[in-house]
Chains A and B, each alone.
Chain A
Amino acid sequence: MENLIDIKGVTHAYKTESGPLPVLDGLDVAVPEGTFAAVVGPSGCGKSTLTRLVAGLMKPDEGEVWLHGERVKGPRKTVGMAFQNPVLLEWRTILQNVILPLEIVAPSMSQKDREARAHELLDMVGLTGFDDKRPSELSGGMRQRASLCRSLVHKPEVLIMDEPFGALDAFTREDLWQTMRDLRAAEPFTCVLITHDLRESVFLGDQVIVLSGRPARTQYVMPIDLPKDRTLDVLYTPEVADMLHILRDQIKIAQGREPEVH
């Protein structure tokens, strides 16, 4: 299978007043088309920089980012982004929020078609009938659902998510994992998820990539061979417990601490 995203030897440093701050150091990430890559790592290790590189919002100092066989040189319409903050526009209704990317990407699309497309997604995430609500009238979980719809409304090849469920409570988060799984089953897309939650990375990912501490490089890659239609029960199997154990140890190493002895 062809790699949809190929990050090859990317090195990047931010310019700060006290000199350059290296965040990425020879990072390699490969994500085959249609698969889900979960990226975990210690806090502040450059994970968010990774999302901005793939989205074409910034250029790396060294190395290459390839998307669908083309070198990424700037933003492109085939990318969708979601953040921890749902960044819904308060002056627009939920429906208008979801439609927003289509106004940029598909200016010639009729309003009727736009709304139909938005309704497709809103129905899938369980927000039927919330069209005319304002973002402030929705709960945190519902807002993040609407935000996901907006990220996907223009059928991007790649969805890049930067800790999208990080601010939600545990139960809402699990609900959204399942929503995410169902969305991918309905409309396959390639996905990069930045997360701090190891259970989330195993439940959603086809591979889990562990980044080292700053400056980050790829420290460990774990393929997740679980069925696509996995349920939350899978998280309580011995198989997954072993995976989580290994990942936990890898994070400890990335943090520069000794792994616990088992």
Chain B
Amino acid sequence: MLRQIGIPVASVLVFLGLWELLVWVNGWPNFKMASPSDLPPAYIRYWELFLVMGWQTLWRTVAGLALAVLVGTAIGMIIGFSRIARDALYPLLVGFNAIPKATLVPVISLIFIGQHDFNTVLMAFMISFFPIAVSVGIGLSTLEPEYRDILRSLGASRFTIFRKIALPKTLPEFFGALKVSVTLAFIGTNLVEIVSPHGRGLGALFKSGETNGDYPLMFAVLIALAFLGIVLYYAVVYLEKIFAGWAERPQS
């Protein structure tokens, strides 16, 4: 327990120390790079804004991620079970994923004018469903035939085979992809928050820091985003332990 918490905390402290040292040694002013010691004053001054906007960023990211899990799993199931669907959908998926999502911000904000929450959730979803779809698809399509046969030879339905074998067997890959998607979803949320006018969330707070030349605030927002990312990542790790803990080899 001490090792599990102590080591990560120590590494973060070392990182902050090195950062502080870097800024101090170079004598950088805070408009070039703020140092960790500049951050607490920013948090104390704007703590209410951080709470409100942090919450906005968090819930929209989680909503986008939830959508990505639903849609990504559905697409993964389709490309995992049908060769034809796989051949048909892969170029579309890869092509869509290759489009820089920043270019889509004006597009969706014109399609759904003023729907700020909806646009943000949509962007978080669009940027994060791809890893889930691909990994679920690969997990299902690489299922060894023997696994299917042990139930199929007993006359089990396709749905039963999916529920009892394919679904649990794909869970480790699914959680692996979800960890990637968590960080991607934050990028999606912040894209909209920063780019679109009158945005909300931590992205908008970053933008206002930039507008007002409040550089410590900008860095404080980045660290707050990193913190939210870490929290959500470990929430996924926790879920993984519950649902796919069996995939972890006992350490000898």
Chain A residues, Cβ within 8 Å of B151: 100-101, 104
Known: A89-B169, A136-B249, A136-B250. A103 touches B164 (CB 8 A): yes
Determine whether the beta carbon of B250 is less than 8 Å from that of A57: no
Q: Is B246 an interface residue, CB under 8 A from the partner?
A: yes
Give 1 or 0 for each of B155-175: 1 = CB within 8 Å of chain A CB.
110001000110011010000
Considering the complex, give the chain B residue whose CB is closest to the CB of A76.
B155
Contact between A57 and B147, CB atoms less than 8 A apart: no
- The verdict on A57 contacting B149 (CB below 8 Å), with A79-B154, A91-B246, A104-B155 known, is yes
Does A87 sit at the interface, judged by CB under 8 A?
yes
- Contact between A90 and B144 (Cβ–Cβ < 8 Å)? no
Contacts of B241 in A (CB 8 A): none
**B144, B153, B155, B165, most chain A CB atoms within 10 A:** B153
Residue contact A87 to B154, C-beta cutoff 8 Å: no
Q: Is B104 part of the contact surface with A, judged by Cβ < 8 Å?
A: no
Say if the beta carbon of B146 comes within 8 Å of chain A. Answer: yes
Contact B250 A81 (CB under 8 A): no
**Residue A77 lies at the interface, judged by CB distance under 8 Å to chain B:** yes
Please give the number of chain B residues whose Cβ is less than 8 angstroms from any Cβ of chain A in the complex: 22
* A105: interface (CB < 8 Å): yes
Q: Which residues from chain A contact B147 at a C-beta distance below 8 Å? A: 87, 89
A104 close to B246 (CB less than 8 A): no
Please give, as numbers and ranges, the residues of chain B lying within 8 Å of A55 by CB-CB distance: 149, 153
Which one of B156, B168, B250 lies within 8 Å of A104 (CB-CB)?
B156
How far, in whole Å, are A136 and B245 apart by their CA atoms in the complex?
Answer: 13
A189 within 8 A of B: no
Q: How long is the Cα–Cα vector from A85 to B169 in the complex, in angstroms?
A: 16
Given A136-B250, A137-B250, A81 and B155 touching (CB < 8 A)?
no
Query: Is the CB–CB distance between B165 and A75 below 8 Å?
Result: no
Q: Are B153 and A57 in contact (CB under 8 A)?
A: yes
Q: Mark B167-209, 1 if CB is under 8 A from A, else 0.
A: 0110100000000000000000000000000000000000000
Query: Which of B144, B152, B247, B249 touches A75 (beta carbons < 8 Å)?
Result: B152
Q: A85-B146, A91-B246 are in contact. Are A74 and B155 (CB under 8 A)?
A: yes
Of residues 111 through 164 on chain B, the ones whose CB sits less than 8 Å from some CB of chain A are: 144, 146-147, 149-156, 160, 164
User: Are B247 and A90 closer than 8 Å at their CB atoms?
Assistant: yes
Q: Indicate if the CB atoms of A87 and B150 lie closer than 8 Å.
A: yes
Given A55-B153, A90-B247, A134-B246, the answer on whether A100 and B144 have CB atoms closer than 8 Å is no
Q: Give the interface size bracket for A toward B.
A: 20 to 34
Query: A154 on the interface (CB 8 Å rule)?
Result: yes
- Known contacts A81-B150, A91-B246, A75 near B155 by CB under 8 Å: yes
- If the complex has contacts A136-B249, A137-B250, are A105 and B149 also in contact, measured as CB distance less than 8 A? no
Q: Confirm or deny: A83 has a beta carbon within 8 angstroms of a beta carbon on chain B.
A: yes
Q: B33 interface residue, CB < 8 Å from A?
A: no
Q: How far is A77 from B164 in the complex, measured between Cα atoms in Å?
A: 17
**Alpha-carbon separation in the docked complex, A239 to B72 (Å):** 63
Q: A52 vs B150: C-alpha distance in the bound complex, in angstroms?
A: 11
Q: Which residues of chain B have C-beta atoms less than 8 A from A75's C-beta?
A: 152-155
The residue from B144, B146, B160, B244 contacting A91, defined by CB atoms under 8 A apart: B244
Known: A89-B165, A104-B160. A81 touches B249 (CB 8 A): no
Q: Indicate with 1 or 0, residue by residue over A123-151, a CB within 8 angstroms of chain B CB atoms.
A: 00000000000101100000000000010
A56 within 8 A of B: yes
The CA-CA distance from A101 to B149 in the complex, in Å, is 12
Closest residue to A137 on the B side, CB-wise? Answer: B250
Residue numbers in B under 8 Å from A87 (CB-CB): 144, 146-147, 150
List chain A positions with a Cβ less than 8 A from chain B: 52, 55-57, 74-77, 79-81, 83, 85, 87, 89-91, 100-101, 103-105, 134, 136-137, 150, 154
A-B contact list, 18 entries, CB within 8 Å: A57-B152, A57-B153, A80-B153, A81-B150, A81-B153, A83-B146, A83-B149, A87-B146, A87-B147, A87-B150, A89-B165, A91-B246, A101-B150, A105-B154, A134-B246, A136-B249, A137-B250, A154-B154
Which B residues fall within an 8 A CB radius of A? Answer: 144, 146-147, 149-156, 160, 164-165, 168-169, 171, 244, 246-247, 249-250
User: Which 6 pairs show the lowest CB-CB distances between chains A and B?
Assistant: A91-B246, A55-B153, A75-B155, A87-B146, A104-B154, A104-B156
